[in-house]
A and B are shown apart, each in its own frame.
Chain A
Amino acid sequence: MAWSATSPGANQPDNTAFTQQRLPAWQPLLSAGIVLPLFFCVGLAFIGLGLGLYYTSNGIKELEYDYTGDPGTGNCSVCAAAGERVAPPPANCTCQWCFSLSELFQGPVFLYYELSNFYQNNRRYVVSRDDAQLSGLASALRHPTNECAPYQRSPAGVPIAPCGAIANSLFNDSFKLLHQRLPGGAYVEVPLDRTGIAWWTDYHVKFHNPEPINGSLKLAFYGTAKPPNWPRPAYDLSPDPNNTGFVNQDFVVWMRTAALPTFRKLYARIRHGNYSAGLPRGAYCVNITYNYPVLAFDGHKRLIFSSISWMGGKNPFLGVAYLTFGSLCIVTGFVMLVVYIRHQDENGEDEDE
């Protein structure tokens, strides 16, 4: 061995806190002094939060209508029957939902559509898109990714823009809200703000139209085909140049796929003119252009008017969950306290003996 050559002690390990496992350390213990107050504090805090959430959620007003058109339920059933198992669906079947408000529907009011049993989170559906194409990359526009198949190219072999199943299944019902201010009076169209319904980052960062050629978006899309279900190509979605093509807000909203098979998507905000404070009392009718068939897969379509609170849309779950768990914490805390005290007593007696 080599020790003879070195000076005495040269082999000796370093005397550091690290090598000798003596690093200064905090050694917390789950003592009663920490655990019990923790449970009571958490419990109280949760009950407080839960109450707040619960009442906030309850304070949110929602008005919803299922316009799927199940046989015998209102006038949408005609359209539903007509659109059954047809793709693309026949254009422009309209139906109507009328309701009346006896008091002001506190604003700002948001109009949502809800689809249920629609698996926007199905893996094959989720991946069927090309973010590069949607971000306006010229190279990607005419070379959609293979993930988009079978909506990658048209039967003629022309690349589809926007490609993929998500884009192809774009929700295309449209709604018009009419208000009758006075009984028997004329219905006035309520202005629906269809802009600003998408996320800021989606609209400004994630989605871009391809660079227009000679100021024409149509030329930019030259050499691409529309998705098969679409009645018109992407550049014709809206006359507004800031709301057409890939940056059409309805399209952007649709492309943000939902996490769960039942989901709501924002259709419009009602905030202009007389309606900035909300929907005043009176009779209302929604004219529905029924294009989107869902009965085939037992899907449902709903229209929802909803107001918003500090915590977002209506959802009683969080409030209830917080209340439940807060109470559980308190109960557990008491149980532990009792166990602890009784055990202390026993120990005390043992020691006395």
Chain B
Amino acid sequence: MFCGEKKLLETERRVKANDREFNEKFQYAFRHKSDNQVNNRLSEVLINGRLQSEKWMNVKAGDIIKLENNQFVAADLLLLSSSEPHGLCYIETAELDGETNLKVRHALPVTSELGADISSLAKFDGIVACEPPNNKLDKFTGDLSWKDNKYPLNNEKIILRGCVLRNTSWCFGMVIFAGPDTKLMQNSGKTTFKRTSIDRLMNTLVLWIFGFLVCMGVILAIGNSIWKHQVGDYFRAFLFQDEVGKNPIFSGFLTFWSYIIILNTVVPISLYVSVEVIRLGHSHFINWDRKMYYAKKETLAEARTTTLNEELGQIEYIFSDKTGTLTQNIMTFNKCSINGRTYGEVYDDLGRKTEINEKTKPVDFSFNPQADSKFQFYDHSLIESIKLGDPKVYEFFRLLALCHTVMPEENNEGKLIYQVQSPDEGALVTAARNFGFIFKSRTPETITVEEMGKIVTYQLLAFLDFNNIRKRMSVIVRNPEGQIKLYCKGADTILFEKLHSSNEELMTVTSDHLSEFGGEGLRTLAIAYRNLNEEYFKEWFKLLEEANRVFDKRDERVAAAYEEIERDMMLLGATAIEDKLQDGVIETITNLSLANIKIWVLTGDKQETAMNIGYSCNMLTDDMNEVFILSGHTAAEVWEELKKAKEILFGRSTGFTNGYAFCEKLQELKLGSTIEETVTGDYALIINGHSLGYALEANLQNEFLEIACICKTVICCRVTPLQKAQVVELVKKHRKAVTLAIGDGANDISMIKSAHIGVGISGQEGMQAVLASDYSFAQFRYLQRLLLVHGRWSYFRMCKFLCYFFYKNFAFTLVHFWFGFFCGFSAQTVYDQWFITLFNIVYTSLPVLAMGIFDQDVNEQNSMDYPNLYGPGQLNLLFNKRKFFICIAHGVYTSFALFFIPYGAFYNVAGEDGKHIADYQSFAVTIATSLVIVVSVQIALDTSYWTVINHVFIWGSIAVYFSILFTMHSDGIFDIFPNQFPFVGNARHSLSQKNIWLVILLTTVVSVMPVITFRFLKVVLYPTLSDQVRQLQKAQDKARPLRGHKRQPRRTSSRRSGYAFAHQEGYGELITSGKNMRVKNLHPTSGLGKTMYNSTSWIENLCKKTTDTVNSFSLDRTVKL
């Protein structure tokens, strides 16, 4: 893509540590201004042997920088050393890919020895040779040459910009890519200048008007030539007898230019300024809106771009990020099912299920001094069961406290905190902790748990790690009594097959509970245990060791060993974790869907998690006709899947032609927009990143888009930031629809930039998305208000404003055109020069501005209650070319009335005193006064929301007109500037004539009555929803028939697995090897023997498995529905 050019310049990058001269060529002068806030963040950089604070923008390739816990990474780094053993460090990549689990990076052993020793770090002079800057987030190849040795580098040793350091107190890294070269920035796409569709339309219209102006000029110039030829030349005897023989054609030519100058007011130059003023006003209303102010973080909504407001009223597609946008990125232990009984539901006094709200009393955990105060649970029966000592409940929580990969740590205050790599696990272990099963510490060999106040140490015999095929993890422990137990948690679909046959009944009950949880959008795990006897375990352990020793097909053999022991398990129950949605997400999505806005979720996260969120925010429901899942790995597979989906959608009769021929057909169909009509029912589409790559290619994109647009819900998972942008571009380009992208992380920047409107979620740590966005606010739910209230109003106001503005200019200017026919096409203006100057600026600018800023057809409450009101904006009904011509015609009609009524009335007429009143100056004053009154009455008709300001501006404009008129026609000003104000006495004389007032009255009524007629008939015959709502509003009718039942989000509970787990493979080995444990945590006598044999390879395994995860994940399609 756009970095191709750079690739040509740089085929390989060679960076030398601590040598700025060597790396000089990698410095860029260009910086985007809006990134200032990010560029000015500080980072500790090693310069001349000392650590100094430097701005991010001054960090250069080759620098060595120090990062501390919870800091954002400033550049793409090669990890050199860290505070953790073995040069490990943990990073959170939510900004980059939306995944919530922690990832491990580790330094090369040679560099990790450098530690925190500043002097040796300053002497480090390794040279990294690697790929040129690119946008691949999950790949890195290169090598480090240091001390005559070469060390290969891969992605596991690289920390990318945009990550956050977690659970690691410090680390050092060498900058490889800085600034715009970083993978994050390479992914962020190009910044385009955004303009609204109304802007583009406006430009076109202004060009048309210009053409119209030239036409008028030509007509009048021809008229002048003819007049000159037939009349003017003979008339010259009295006028300009000296000028003989002036060519009529030349005269026409001069007239043309004169008329271009006179009629130029038809080209609304002040329009652009006024439009900007209105938009600025609207932006301020967004900034000032208290209902979009998030008190918890004291974050205001902010319109960062002030020129896009009316487009907010035309959105058809919303592309939303998941993590941090729809969800809060907080997991809570919400419900569980233990031994066939559910806990977590709250019932009121009458035994009815109730919603949990702020008034619901949470369980009091004060009995447990080590409880985590943030944990809340509302069902008191569970704590009662614990107090009663139900052994199954004990076993349940014991399992949660034992079977996980969490690392315990004490913070400065001596409080126990958990370092979690997966937030799901964190939620489970914290739940166990609060219910009295406190996971205290672990060594590679043991796990210490405080069970109801009693410290118990379990011997960890084996750790059967999680992976995406197994979808489960197990631990085998020996309790102090000597019993060996296997504890397992995992996906219900998998686990249920491994249960002992005696569990049949419990399984059915639990399964029902699981579906119930799944239906509520909770992430579920089934939980089971197995008692093992000593001999069996020993035998099995031998088998495992054997499997571990062989090289050939090791993974399969290990997996087989795991299978062997994970069977005949006893079901304990299930857990349900809520991936907490942000407040009001469901309502917002429901309401936006009612407004006919399509919402696509684009996330970097896994398919299960994404689908789970889809269910929990009701974008996916069980009564959908079909959920298509595209996860093909080749173009052919994707094509096949698309074909199948299409057959289902259209029935087999519809032929499926490939490629471009179909494209044309699609275009045809699109014109009639029949596609959507022929398909009934709700469909959803879920597509994986790799399939999306093929679907976005030229030959498939039309099919993909067609199917995607029919589907009610589209979820794209595992997509890269650039793919997000490509999806947006695709819809933008082929559907000609207005798109909005909303996100919070750095991975959303590209789509935020490429969508028509980009919205950033602010008030969080990462600022990057907000900086690239056009609007920002703290909560997803504000989107509803932004679009349905602010956007709709902005669009409504802007359209009204434009209509009126064009009308006004035509009414004003075309009078000159008509007059041309009666003044020998001599470019004589009808009005006084002063009037022409002041008309647009003083007499008529403020009322229309007030309307453009303050007008409301329906109030904010109704805008939200009737989402259908949003429709006209999407269909672009309020201002389009047709409307423009209507406005123009209206303007022309008004100018016609304005000129010809006075013309008829002034023909050979005398004043009340017999004196001359049909003079040019009286004529000018009469028409000008009529014009001001007519356009004021018109704006009064157009204004539907008369605030004080509107009153002041409308009445004020008329008052100002008359006062300026009388001032300019006064004796005093004439005495000072006789040549500039030749209209002396005119206002006084003309406006005291009844005749002239009769003319003004007639003109006004004639101009305005047809408008009233049309509007009245339109409201009676074809009322829009807006008209109806206005009438309702007027009637103060509290009944809201259109609102109906749609508000209540449905909960369904058909059979569906809610399995989704933000876990990554490889942590089991970290734990059993003890590599991630501080020395102080290690049990002094712990035997290292067991871990010795694989300690050299565990990291390689980890890396290998991490890459496998991605691949294996997609192979498995059994989870779904």
Contacts and interface: CB of A to CB of B under 8 A. Distances in A.
Interface string B906-930: 1111111111111111111000000
Given A119-B823, A197-B915, A205-B971, A256 B921 contact: yes
A321 B239 contact: no
A130 B977 CA distance: 12
B191 to A, nearest CB: 23
Interface string B223-242: 00000000110110111111
Interface stretch (B170-178, B312-320, B1004-1012): B1004-1012
Interface stretch (A8-16, A69-77, A210-218): A8-16
A13 B904 contact: no
A269 interface: yes
A260 B903 contact: yes
A26 B989 CA distance: 37
Interface centre among A9, A121, A197, A314 (most CB of B within 10 A): A121
Interface stretch (A17-25, A93-101, A175-183): A17-25
B1015 interface: yes
Contacts of B53: none
A296 B946 CA distance: 59
A27 B920 CA distance: 41
A26 B909 CA distance: 43
B698 interface: no
Contacts of B824: 119, 121-122, 261
Interface string A11-50: 1111100011101111111111001001100100010010
A63 B290 CA distance: 76
B971 to A, nearest CB: 5
Contacts of B916: 199, 253, 256, 258, 264-266
A319 B843 CA distance: 31
Interface stretch (A230-238, A240-248, A283-291, A332-340): A332-340
B1021 interface: yes
Nearest to B999: A318
A12 B291 CA distance: 10
A260 to B, nearest CB: 6
Interface stretch (A110-118, A184-192, A273-281): A110-118
Nearest to A117: B231
Interface in B94-117: none
A326 B742 CA distance: 57
Given A35-B1012, A121-B822, A257-B920, A201 B989 contact: yes
Contact of B947 (A23, A118, A200): A23
Interface in B973-992: 974-975, 978-979, 982, 984-986, 988-989
Contacts of A27: 944-946, 1030, 1033-1034
A311 B910 contact: no
A312 B912 contact: yes
A42 B912 CA distance: 25
A24 B854 CA distance: 11
Given A30-B1019, A266-B914, A19 B906 contact: no
A28 B944 contact: yes
A325 B1005 contact: yes
A82 B979 CA distance: 39
A150 to B, nearest CB: 5
Contacts of B242: 150
Nearest to B943: A28
A259 interface: yes
A344 B944 CA distance: 24
Interface string B711-746: 000000000000000000000000000000000000
Interface residues of B, number: 99
B905 interface: yes
Contacts of B289: 13, 19-20
A209 interface: no
A96 B611 CA distance: 105
A257 B918 CA distance: 9
B744 to A, nearest CB: 15
B243 interface: yes
Contacts of A329: 1005, 1009
A32 B1020 contact: yes
Given A132-B979, A135-B974, A201 B234 contact: no
Interface in B877-921: 901, 903-921
A137 B297 contact: no
Contacts of B1013: 39, 332, 336
A272 interface: no
Contact of A23 (B905, B948, B995): B948
B912 A311 contact: yes
Contact of A297 (B231, B914, B1015): B231
Interface in B817-852: 822-824, 826-829
Contacts of B908: 114, 262-264, 313-315
Contacts of A23: 854, 947-949
A68 to B, nearest CB: 14
A3 to B, nearest CB: 4
B514 to A, nearest CB: 42
Contact of B998 (A28, A53, A264): A53
A11 B298 contact: yes
Contacts of B231: 117, 119, 297-298
Interface in A321-353: 321-322, 325, 329, 332, 336, 339-340, 343
Interface in A81-102: 85, 87
A120 B915 CA distance: 17
B826 A201 contact: no
Nearest to B790: A21
Given A12-B298, A256-B916, A312-B993, A130 B1019 contact: no
A300 interface: no
A135 B298 contact: no
A311 B740 CA distance: 63
Nearest to A11: B298
A165 B906 CA distance: 24
A27 B241 CA distance: 62
Contact of B988 (A46, A201, A322): A201
B915 A260 contact: no
B911 A313 contact: yes
A259 B909 contact: no
B959 interface: no
Interface string A210-230: 000000000000000000010
Nearest to A124: B826
Interface string B285-301: 10111110101011110
B35 to A, nearest CB: 16
A339 B914 contact: no
Interface string B637-652: 0000000000000000
A312 B909 contact: yes
Interface centre among A198, A199, A297 (most CB of B within 10 A): A199
Given A8-B298, A122-B239, A317-B905, A14 B946 contact: no
A106 interface: no
23 contacts: A8-B298, A9-B295, A11-B300, A20-B289, A25-B946, A27-B946, A27-B1033, A30-B1015, A30-B1016, A53-B998, A87-B241, A110-B914, A114-B908, A122-B824, A145-B979, A201-B971, A206-B974, A258-B916, A260-B907, A266-B910, A269-B914, A308-B910, A308-B912
Interface of B: 231-232, 234-235, 237-243, 258, 285, 287-291, 293, 295, 297-300, 763, 793, 822-824, 826-829, 854, 856, 860, 901, 903-924, 941, 944-950, 971, 974-975, 978-979, 982, 984-986, 988-989, 993-995, 998-999, 1002, 1005-1006, 1009, 1012-1013, 1015-1017, 1019-1021, 1030-1031, 1033-1034
Given A119-B826, A202-B985, 14 more contacts: A1-B299, A8-B298, A21-B793, A30-B1016, A49-B998, A130-B979, A206-B978, A260-B918, A308-B914, A312-B910, A312-B994, A312-B995, A322-B1002, A325-B1005
Q: Please give me the 8 A-B residue pairs with the lowest Cβ-Cβ distance, nearest first.
A: A201-B985, A313-B910, A259-B923, A19-B288, A123-B828, A317-B904, A297-B235, A123-B826
